[in-house]
Structure 1
Amino acid sequence: MTSKRKSGPVVAVVAMVNSIHVARWLAMVRDDDTRFIVIPVMDAPPVGELAPFRFVRGEDDIHTLQPGEVGIFDHSSISWAEAGAVEIGAGFQREEHPAFASSVQLFTAHHVTSAIRALDPDLVHSMEVQVAGYLTLEAKRRIGGTFPPWLLSNWGSDIQLFIKLPRHRTIIHRLFNHIDGYWAECGRDVALARSLGYNGAAFDPLPASGGMQIDAEEGALPPSRRQAILVKGYHGWSGRGLQILSAIYLAAPRLRTRPIQVLFTGSQGSRAISEIRTSTGLDIDAAPHLERHSDAMRRLADARIVIGAGISDGIGTTLLEAMSVGTFPIVGNTSCASEWVRNGRDAFIVDPHDTAAMAQALIRAAEDDELVDAAALRNREEVERRWDPALNREPVLRAYAAMIEANRASRSS
């Protein structure tokens, strides 16, 4: 690929268009001269926060994008039959991610390869590993030596958990041999990448979402004057919602005055909630899913405590959002939370399988007004300093420019 464009650089972002993380990242950088085109990896409608956007099919369409307008590559010119035949011919089968149900339609490596060829970008940025990263790895194999410089961001459990799974380990090793830049969420994952033999550029860790504009009015009420407890109730390949519900059962005598709302409940969680409510008399119920992120943030800002834990995580966006609105967080010790908060002071960091420890953490946070109010002030200051899109924007744009320039220099030498 040889770019013929004379205007600003083009970054192709291989990612999920329905992700708030992707929308926030692009909101942080999109007003620059650089044009951003999202190559979807999932057949899903774009998240509303991605607007303004327009569908594009090639370089000519890119030139018509308005300042700040994001392009989304239109895969519709490639039939699923064609894509399936190409994948069979190439002998490629992407390793599955347990988070995605069989009903979710993921695009193929042929879709991603065709998009990169049509766009001829100056840089490819894959946001997330097991879908976007694996598809980009295969696209690079097919395109060969003219493939643009490749930046990889990992989210949450992408490396820390999946490197332990034999069917993923080999792919992750190959991936780190082929990327040109790496953006981790936390220092833990940079060290892990180095241990896997990666010796390329590793930029200073940033949350997957880049940053979020914090509403000064949201979370203004001190947490000591709030009542609700929010629970991330998801229980599955990573989340351990049932363990949290067990902890709530143990702590029930000390939580009777607190309304408890449980998010993301499956059938098992719903049954457990009903049993806890019947046997303890707690005011506990499943909380409805809120489509608008602003509504979800208001609900979080009304809570005194939020608790969520799983077998692996990165920073955890819920942690950062809770810090931004003064809600006291209780999180798993399998995350990178310790890089942002101090256990026992700014948050409680617990073993996701130690229900007794989680119960004690809930009781302390529910009863200690001084603890939660002091933590709210410190946590808000921390996210204002480290999760501000206005502050994080420049390092990202510099990294993009450095990778593009290094590639141009190497090709001209």
Structure 2
Amino acid sequence: MRILLVAMNSIHFVRWTDQLKDSGHEVFWFDILDGGKTDRLPWVNQITGWKQKYPYFKGRHFIKKHLPVLYKKLGFLIENSITVKFEEILHEIKPDLVHSFVLYISCTPILEVMKKHHNLPWVYSSWGSDLYYFKNIPKFKRDILKVLTHVNYLITDCKRDIKIAKELGFNGKVLGTFPGGGGFNYDEANKYIKPVSERQTILVKGYQGRSGRAIEILNALKLISDLIEEYKIVVFGTDKEVENYLQEENISSLLTIKSFPKRDFLPHQKILELMGNALVYIGNSNSDGIPNSLLEAIIQGAFPIQSNPGGASAEVIEHHKNGLLIEDCENPKEIAQHIKTAISNVELLKNAFQINQKELKPQFERALVENQVKEAYNKVLNN
């Protein structure tokens, strides 16, 4: 089978695609943003370098940066049309299916082409906030409604989004719910897992921006700073807003804290190591699916305290059993109470560790998920 993947380059997309290596399928990737080839997928037929009509035009970057309005007006002279180039690709490689990742990035731009090729199976993967957040924004909702009536197959990272997709007009077949980046290799991950009794770190995901709410976590930690003096606070993936907050509020005067800026990309191995050392992991946002970082906390034995937008996190966390759910992501007092509950209840931490290691972790093992994903693609081929 010839599979054409349509996506931007991201670590989750790379990890997902790697599941198809040695599957017997011929895999092509149309880089929708034309960000350049990646050496992490050398076995994939990568379609890049398609966007610029004049790739050696020296003034392009200057105009785009300093004169964006002019660049937009002159775009048709400088850049190739996505729809024209994508249709050329379809005619050239003649795929057996097209698989788009993230609706507004990889479905909307090719919708008109796919409507013309309506007999070509079209798979759509919904990740994170793709449906839950953007359905509430009129401009994006219009695209969602248009796309969902034309895609044939759906893959999600949480069951919540299956319901949302159907409510918004999807009437195709659901291929399954899988982690956005596929499963996890435990041969690599297990070596970083410490016993609960040896963990003294509170690990925080440092996203703010549109949906992240890391600052609310930091405010919660400030509220109970006298109770967590013995703990080391580690914040990873901090964006500029959170970095500025850490400095302006002089958090280091209250807490023993270390941050890893988002711009200094952390390898996946390092994240697994942080999770394997953490007693508690806290992730907080106003919108997401089932975050990969939450799954990483679960498999690495960190006690998860996680926001629960639309009930997605409740699909893997049972409150007060194998983690704690944040119901109001804007409320530092609620988050502070959850942290106090966790660090003051050793039995809760130990029981959650056992539940997550024995019951949940096996569900996300790399080979298991990989086989399920391959079966999903085969269902399309055999339909």
Q: Per-residue deviation at 1:393? A: 2.6
> Which position in structure 1 is the counterpart of 2:3?
11
* Deviation for aligned residue 1:316: 0.4
Determine which of 334, 353, 356 is the counterpart of 1:376.
353
Partner in structure 1 of residue 107 of structure 2: 133
Structure 1 residues 292 and 285: alpha-carbon distance in aligned structure 2, compared to 1, 3 A threshold: closer
Q: Which residue of 1 aligns with 2:203?
A: 230
Cα deviation for residue 146 of structure 1 reads 5.9
Partner SS, residue 75 of structure 1: coil
User: Residues 325-346 of structure 1, C-alpha deviation per residue, up to 9 Å, x if partnerless?
Assistant: 1011111121611111211121
| Residues 15, 241 of structure 1: alpha-carbon distance in 2 compared, 3 angstrom cutoff | same
* 8 Å Cα contact 1:231-1:262 kept in structure 2: yes
Secondary structure of residue in 2 paired with 1:394: helix
Segments of structure 2 that go 5 or more residues without pairing to the other structure are 56-78
TM-score by structure 1 length?
A: 0.79
SS of residue matched to 2:317? coil
**Contact 2:192–2:272 (Cα < 8 Å) also in 1:** no
Which residue of structure 1 aligns with residue 21 of structure 2?
Answer: 30
Give the letter aligned to residue 153 of structure 2: G
After TM superposition, list the pairs within 5 Å mapping 1:180-191 onto structure 2.
180-191=152-163
**In structure 2, do the counterparts of structure 1 residues 122 and 331 end up closer, same or farther at CA, with 3 Å as the change threshold?**
same
TM-score normalised to structure 2 length: 0.85
**Cα distance change on mapping 1:393 and 1:296 into 2, 3 Å:** closer
Mean CA deviation greater in 343-352 or 153-162: 343-352
Alignment CA distance shift 1:167-1:250 (3 Å): same
Q: Secondary structure at the match of 1:379?
A: helix
**More deviation, 192-201/386-395:** 386-395
Q: Is the 8 A contact 1:238 1:310 kept in 2?
A: yes
Equivalent-residue separation in structure 2 for 1:80 and 1:300 (angstroms): 46
Q: Report the more deviating stretch, 308-317 or 193-202.
A: 193-202
Tell me: CA distance 1:211–1:107, structure 2 relative to 1, closer, same or farther (3 Å).
farther
In structure 1, the partner of 2:213 is: 240
Note closer, same or farther for the CA distance 1:404–1:256 as it changes in structure 2 (3 Å cut).
same
- After superposition, the Cα gap between the structure-2 partners of 1:275 and 1:366, relative to the gap in structure 1 and judged at 3 Å, is farther
In 2, are the aligned partners of 1:126 and 1:136 still within 8 Å (CA)?
no
Residues 77 and 317 (structure 1), Cα distance of their counterparts in 2 relative to 1, 3 Å cut: closer
Structure 1: stretches of 5+ with no match in the other structure = 1-8, 54-68, 82-104, 407-413
Cα distance in 2, alignment partners of residues 43 and 211 from structure 1: 27
How big is the shift at 1:308?
A: 1.4
Q: Does 1:41 align with 2:17?
A: no
Instruction: Report if the CA contact (8 A) 1:277-1:284 is conserved.
Output: no
Q: Which residue of 2 is the match for residue 341 of structure 1?
A: 317
Length, aligned pairs only: 355
| Distance change in 2, residues 1:312/1:253 (3 Å) | same
Q: Cα distance, 1:136 vs. partner?
A: 3.0
Structure-2 residue corresponding to 1:208:
180
Distance (Å, rounded) in 1 between the aligned partners of 2:99 and 2:371: 16
Stretch of structure 1 that moved more, 118-127 or 376-385: 376-385
Alpha carbons 1:128, 1:154 under 8 Å: kept: yes
- 1:135-178: CA deviation from partner (whole Å, max 9, x where unpaired): 2324314xx13662100010011011111111111110111110
Alignment of 1:134-153 (within 5 A): 134-141=108-115, 144-145=116-117, 148-153=120-125
Deviation at 1:219, TM superposition (A): 4.0
Cα distance between partner residues in 1 of 2:251 and 2:105: 42
Contact 2:36 2:48 in 1 (8 A): no
SS in 2 for 1:218: helix
Letter in 2 for 1:27: D
One-letter amino acid matched to 2:90: I
Following superposition, the deviation at residue 401 of structure 1 comes to: 2.4
Alpha-carbon distance, 1:290 to partner: 4.0
Shift of 1:237: 0.8
Does residue 1:298 correspond to 2:270, yes or no? Answer: no
On the 8 A contact 1:41/1:106 being kept in 2, the answer is no
Q: Deviations over 1:164-217 (max 9, x none)?
A: 111111110111110010111222111111112222101231121221112363
Comparing 192-201 with 375-384, greater Cα deviation is found at 375-384
Aligned to 1:352: 329
- Match status 1:73 vs 2:47: yes
Which has the larger displacement, 253-262 or 277-286?
277-286
Task: Report the AA paired with residue 363 of structure 1.
Answer: K
Q: Any idea what SS the aligned residue of 2:180 has?
A: coil
Q: Which residue does the alignment assign to 2:66?
A: none
In 2, the alpha carbon distance for the partners of 1:276 and 1:221 equals 32
How big is each residue's C-alpha offset from its partner over 1:83-119, in whole Å with a ceiling of 9 and x where there is no partner? xxxxxxxxxxxxxxxxxxxxxx999444433333322
Q: Does 1:157 align with 2:148?
A: no
2: CA distance, partners of 1:36 / 1:190: 26
Inter-partner Cα distance in structure 2 for 1:317 and 1:222: 22
In the alignment, the residues of structure 2 paired with residue 146 and residue 309 of structure 1 have an alpha-carbon distance, to the nearest angstrom, of: 40
SS in 1 for 2:166: helix
Which letter maps to 1:20? I
Following superposition, the deviation at residue 275 of structure 1 comes to: 4.8
> Is residue 16–residue 180 contact of structure 2 (8 Å, CA) maintained in 1?
yes
Mapped contact 2:307–2:329 kept (Cα < 8 A): yes
Q: CA deviation at 1:279?
A: 8.1
